[in-house]
Amino acid sequence: MQVETASSRPCPCCGKPRRLAHLMDLYERNYFLMERLVPELELPFERAVSKSATDLPLHLIVVERAPYTSELRLTYEFKHPDGRRLEPDLWVRVYRDARVAEALHCGTRAPWTAADETDPEAHRLLDDQWARNHTLAKWLEYLLEHGHGFTIAARPRRGPGREELSPSAGNPDSAV
């Protein structure tokens, strides 16, 4: 049995049918854009803010660290009468060993529930992955064009009177 890995919708960047291998290329592209934005992808800090003369402050929050991966959030923070709003609140898992970065949905990846390759749920999941990862790639390009970056000099420093927010404070399951 031959596995069909193409989606019926064309890819927005090249117009060709969406294929799993092309999605992996997009993950690789996202990694290299992330590496330009955050040169130290081991993330030796918990939270940082990048400021740009032409854009809003960009917040980076480390969600989780593992030996070969890191999960982080990139967002703008808006003050709102009901509290703060984080938009666009993109959660990204960086696979340092494979040199790919994947945009996640709300901090967790949807479970793979497809029965087989022809299951519509499999195609829906891949379509969602395409949309999230194209959004991530475009936003990373935008951020880099506007001079954002989390270099060593821009990293937060610990010291007297400096508060560092824990990653759980930005949990999407808690009220934001």
Tell me the pLDDT tens digit for each residue of 138-151.
989 999 999 998 87
Our count of domains for the chain comes to 1
Residue 173 lies in a domain: no
Contact 16, 8 (CB under 8 A): no
pLDDT at 36 (0 to 100): 93
Segment of 3-7, 35-39, 119-123, 167-171 carrying the highest mean pLDDT: 35-39
Residue 110 has pLDDT above 70, yes or no: no
Query: For the chain, what is the mean pLDDT?
Result: 75
Domain that holds residue 132: 20-110+122-150
* 64/71 Cα distance (integer angstroms): 5
Output the pLDDT for position 123.
66
Q: Is the pLDDT of residue 23 over 50?
A: yes
Q: Per the domain annotation, does 168 fall within a domain?
A: no
Residue 129 included in any domain: yes
**pLDDT winner (highest mean) among 1-5, 80-84, 112-116, 155-159:** 80-84
Strands across the sheet containing 47-52: 47-52, 55-65, 69-80, 83-95, 100-104
Q: Does residue 5 fall inside a structural domain? A: no
- pLDDT for 157 equals 54
> Which DSSP letter does residue 52 get?
E
Question: How high is the pLDDT of residue 72?
Answer: 92
Q: What is the pLDDT of residue 127?
A: 75
Which of 48-52, 107-111, 130-134, 171-175 reaches the highest mean pLDDT?
48-52
Q: Using a cut of 0.75, tell me whether the model's pTM lies above it.
A: no
Q: Does residue 134 sit within a domain?
A: yes
For residue 49, tell me if it sits in a domain. Answer: yes
Q: Is residue 76 part of a domain?
A: yes
| Per-residue pLDDT at 5 | 47
Cβ neighbours around 118 below 10 Å, total = 11
pLDDT given at position 166:
40
Res 148: pLDDT: 92
Residue 27, pLDDT score: 93
Q: Is residue 104 part of a domain?
A: yes
CA-wise closest residue to 26 among 109, 130, 152: 130
pLDDT in tens, 63-101: 999 999 999 999 988 877 887 777 788 899 999 999 999
What pLDDT score was predicted for residue 158? 52
